[in-house]
Amino acid sequence: MIKEIVQCGHPALHEAARPLSSDEILSNEIQALIETMKNTLRAAPGVGLAAPQIGVSLQLAVIEDQAAYSAAMQPHIRAERERHPVDFHVIINPVLTVLDNTKLFFFEGCLSVKECLRITPRNHKVKVECLNERAEPVTLIAEGWYARILQHEIDHLHGKLYIDFTDERVQIENTLENRQKWINASRDEILKYYQDMTK
Ligand code: ZN
């Protein structure tokens, strides 16, 4: 099954989600929800989907960054963005700790804010302590693009969207033309655009 992804303005996207108990995680209902979220994420396609994005206010998100999603990116750009494939996994009740607060500036999008992309500063390295789909404790250490995905998804679980804390002057329309224009932009080019637009 695939669910409709709700858009900015839907109440679930703007409120804190509640944590799940171990018993709930192991229930048929939540196992089915995880399967639906996996299918919905892959159909979109996207690299992350939080339960509030299908209108379910629970602290659960699914993440997967397939190699194909960044295949059009030049290798040196992919390396500069520290973008590596990430296998499908589930994060539940996550607690995020910043390990390196160096800010990286890149355009970011969201399946719940379809019409735009915006340069969004994110911390370089984070630790996430959470439960997996078997209700087992897991510690994730992530850098670069994977760290960005985790920060974005965990923000969703706190009712926060990237457009809530970023500068609208560095927003562009989410068009094929714009995506192609910026996909292989260097870190320096993006930072220069950010600085020029926010002077
Ligand atoms: Zn999002």
Sole residue written with tokens 């985790």 = 150
Where in the chain are the domains? Answer: 11-197
> pLDDT by residue (tens digit) across 131-178?
999 999 999 999 999 999 999 999 999 999 999 999 999 999 999 999
What does the pLDDT look like over 174-190, one tens digit per residue?
999 999 999 999 999 99
Global pTM exceeds 0.85: yes
Chain segment 58-110, per-residue pLDDT in tens: 999 999 999 999 999 999 999 999 999 999 999 999 999 999 999 999 999 99
Which residues are known catalytic residues?
Answer: 153
Q: How far is the CA of 151 from the centre of ligand 1 (A)?
A: 10
CA of 30 to the centre of ligand 1 (A): 21
Name residue 128's beta-bridge partners: 96, 140
Contact between 102 and 92 under an 8 Å Cβ cutoff? The reply is no
pLDDT for 144 equals 98
Choices 3.40.1280.10, 3.40.50.720, 1.10.10.10, 3.90.45.10: CATH for 11-197: 3.90.45.10
Among 13, 1, 12, 4, CA closest to 152:
13
